[in-house]
């Protein structure tokens, strides 16, 4: 058994690189099947979020370069194109990395709980694809337990600052009073739900929720007396929005430059704050060049989030101590499995040797050899 965790995240790669290597839900199962179809890969799982894309593997070969080459090739990148952005953690380093991710220590927002849910969904997808086995199953279950321990025994999760909270805080810095503004929320996932909650608490009550499926959007809209539209209807309502927050899983931009230009004309060039939290991006980058458009991406929230990190240093130190101890605990289990496998192999060899000796003796007896000559 040889564990490997590799990938890139918000710390090592800018948005324009991260959006090239995401795994959409439509390709995830196929990618796992392709990955574990290689003779050197026994198990695999993929975590793909707006801030990170990571692959966790159980290798049966010492060469760890093949999965990384596969990752680049799958996304149509040249072999060295991702060099400098990727990190790789073998063995105990892989265990520690997964535990830190699950506990929120490796997140842009230290201690945020959303990544644990994302990791659980990644594990569920891998199980459904049949790409996990004994080692990764144990690792994921252990990481979920450790994340719970970290949250229970430290203050890492107290008053968490989420990406959605940072987005609303940035909007407040730009507009001051949000109560007179209208927001267009594009998407209906967890980040948009949190953004709606924080906006409502900040006094903003005029919301439009746009989503591919109206049913999910309506469920969110009912909580805040908002109204819903489909993605196709966005151009007809864009001029109503002072604030646009978008977070979908669309593989291509939903808000084009021509759409925003038309909306600005209708608004008589009143400014619009646009926050694109999606990876790949939901908003064409050229939109940010338009006068009266203030376009921000998830990477622009870092300065707000950094303030949160400073207040959590002691909690992080305590969490790291818990994780270091749990890495040792997990590796003890891994090593015990290797010992068990060795003992089992020796026992099988001994049994086979006995069987071979017995078979040879029986053949000689049938051939007329004296029993005492065989003892």
pLDDT in tens, 323-358: 999 999 999 898 887 655 554 555 556 566 566 656
Q: Is 50 one of the annotated active-site residues of the chain? A: yes
Provide the CATH topology of domain 163-298: Rossmann fold (3.40.50)
On whether the CB atoms of residues 211 and 230 are closer than 8 A, the answer is: yes
For 33, phi then psi, to 5°, come to -65, -45
Q: Name beta bridge partners: 274.
A: 244, 295
Give the whole-angstrom CA distance, residue 322 versus residue 247. 33
Give the whole-angstrom CA distance, residue 365 versus residue 363. 5
Q: What integer pLDDT is reported at residue 113 of this predicted model?
A: 86
At a CB cut-off of 8 Å and minimum separation 6, what does 371 contact? Answer: 365
User: Does 143 score more than 90 pLDDT?
Assistant: yes
Tens digit of each residue's pLDDT (9 = 90 or more) over 158-191? 766 788 888 888 898 888 889 999 999 999 998 9
The answer, yes or no, to whether the previous bond of 280 is cis (omega within 30 of 0) is yes
Q: Where are the domains of the chain?
A: 2-158+315-336, 163-298
Q: Which of 41, 50, 287, 323 is catalytic?
A: 50
The helix (H) or strand (E) run that includes residue 59 is strand 52-59
Question: What's the pTM value of the predicted model, to 2 decimals?
Answer: 0.80
Considering the domain delimited by 2-158+315-336, tell me its CATH architecture.
2-Layer Sandwich (3.30)
Give the whole-angstrom CA distance, residue 229 versus residue 214. 7
DSSP 212-226: SSHHHHHHHHHHTT-
Q: 208 in helix, strand or coil?
A: strand
**163-298 and 2-158+315-336 share a CATH fold:** no
* Closest C-alpha to 46, from 37, 62, 38, 35: 35
266 falls in which pLDDT band (50, 70, 90)? very high
> Degrees (nearest 5) of the Cα angle 128, 190, 48?
45
């Amino acid at each position: 058994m040889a564990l490997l965790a590799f990938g890139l995240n918000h710390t090592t790669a800018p948005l324009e690189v991260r959006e090239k290597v995401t795994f959409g839900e439509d390709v995830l199962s196929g990618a796992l099947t392709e990955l574990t179809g290689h003779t050197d890969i026994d198990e695999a799982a993929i975590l793909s979020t707006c801030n990170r894309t990571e692959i966790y593997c159980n290798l049966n070969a010492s060469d760890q370069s093949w999965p990384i080459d596969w990752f680049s090739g799958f996304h149509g990148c040249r072999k060295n194109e991702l060099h400098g952005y990727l990190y790789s953690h073998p063995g105990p380093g892989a265990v520690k990395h997964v535990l830190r991710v699950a506990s929120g220590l490796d997140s842009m927002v230290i201690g945020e709980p959303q990544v644990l849910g994302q990791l659980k969904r990644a594990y569920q997808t891998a199980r459904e694809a049949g790409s996990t086995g004994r080692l990764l199953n144990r690792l994921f279950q252990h990481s979920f337990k450790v994340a719970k321990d970290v949250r229970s025994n430290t203050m890492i999760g107290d008053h968490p600052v989420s990406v959605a909270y940072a987005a609303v805080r940035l909007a407040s810095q730009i507009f001051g009073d949000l109560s007179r503004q209208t927001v267009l929320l594009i998407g209906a996932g967890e980040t948009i739900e949190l953004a709606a909650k924080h906006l409502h608490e900040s006094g903003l009550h005029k919301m439009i929720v746009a989503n591919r499926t109206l049913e999910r959007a309506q469920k969110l809209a009912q909580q805040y007396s908002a109204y819903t539209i489909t993605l196709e209807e966005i151009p007809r309502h864009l001029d109503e929005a002072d604030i646009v927050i978008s977070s979908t899983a669309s593989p291509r931009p939903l808000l084009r430059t021509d759409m925003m230009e038309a909306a600005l004309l209708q608004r008589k060039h009143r400014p619009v704050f646009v926050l694109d939290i999606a990876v790949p991006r939901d908003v064409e980058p050229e939109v940010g060049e338009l006068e009266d458009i203030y376009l921000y991406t998830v990477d622009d929230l870092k300065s707000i989030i950094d303030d949160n990190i400073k207040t959590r240093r002691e909690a992080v130190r305590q969490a790291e101590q818990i994780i270091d101890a749990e890495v040792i605990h997990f590796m003890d289990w891994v090593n015990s499995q290797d010992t068990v496998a060795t003992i089992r192999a020796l026992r099988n060899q001994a049994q086979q040797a006995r069987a071979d000796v017995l078979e040879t003796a029986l053949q000689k007896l049938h051939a007329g050899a004296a029993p005492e000559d065989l003892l």
